[in-house]
Amino acid sequence: MAHVDFFSHLHKKTQRNYLERAARGDKAHCAEVAKRFGADYWDGDRKYGYGGYRYDGRYASVAKALVDHYGLKAGRSVLDVGCGKGFLLHELKVLVPQLEVQGLDISAYAIERAKEEVKPFLSQGRAQELPYEDGTFDLVISITTLHNLYIYDLEKALKEIERVKKPEGSGYIVVESYRNEKEKDNMLNWQLTCECFFTPQEWEWLFRKFGYSGDYSFIYFE
């Protein structure tokens, strides 16, 4: 288990007005809508989530880092837990066309509107009940998803990731975190779907507690 950061550079590119979102007066309602993970969350007003989640190639650099770091090549298998519309899996297939990919997301809306090239490999489901056999995948990734679970489901999801990963395989998880009170305040003002609010040290303790052996990194709201 190691801290390896392939993702925070993308997170930092987005401009966020934390106080404006907190001061709107309807954030609780927006969070209720966002947690349905439907059209409003993905492609509706920004106050409900992404404000339009469209393919723009932004995940190409993340895919390249994953391929290089984990030695992904033809015949290897990757599962993306919380795959959304499959953009990262698409970029992985562009780099390694014979890579075997699977994606799972709780959102039927996202799966229905996924990137056509990888849509046949995606399915709807929950991170805490992965519909795959033991030891199936060489790499299991989950990018900015698991913090949306309550802690008892987080435990199940991490154990499921371990279960479906090959014994010699790898994992890579990215979750939201905070290192100081300012980042904590920003995160609480901005987040809509997050249920787990932990420092990096607490996340690392939970990973060990729940038996997760893969790699991980954090995003912060600076």
Domain annotation for the chain: domains and CATH numbers: 8-219 (3.40.50.150)
Average pLDDT score over the chain: 97
Q: How far is CA 219 from the centre of its chain?
A: 11
Other CB atoms closer than 10 Å to residue 211's CB: what's the count? 12
pLDDT at 7 over 90: yes
pLDDT at 25 over 90: no
DSSP 192: S
Sorting pLDDT into bands at 50, 70 and 90, what band is 22?
Answer: confident
Task: Please report the beta strands in the chain, taking only residues with DSSP state E, as ranges in sequence order.
Answer: 77-81, 100-105, 122-124, 137-143, 165-176, 215-219
Sorting pLDDT into bands at 50, 70 and 90, what band is 23?
Answer: confident
Sorting pLDDT into bands at 50, 70 and 90, what band is 42?
Answer: very high
Amino acid in position 166? K
What backbone torsions phi and psi does residue 221 show, to the nearest 5 degrees?
-100, 85
Q: Which residue, among 127, 153, 150, has the nearest Cα to 140 in the 3D structure?
A: 127
Tokens of 187: 């995160």
pLDDT at 144 over 90: yes
Decide: 213 and 171 in contact? Cβ < 8 Å. yes
Range of lowest pLDDT (23-27, 89-93, 119-123, 171-175):
23-27
Other CB atoms closer than 10 Å to residue 209's CB: what's the count? 10
Q: Given its phi and psi angles, is residue 37 left (phi above 0), alpha (psi -120 to 50 degrees) or beta?
A: left
CA–CA gap between residue 142 and residue 134 (Å, rounded): 18
Token pair 């959304």: residue: 84
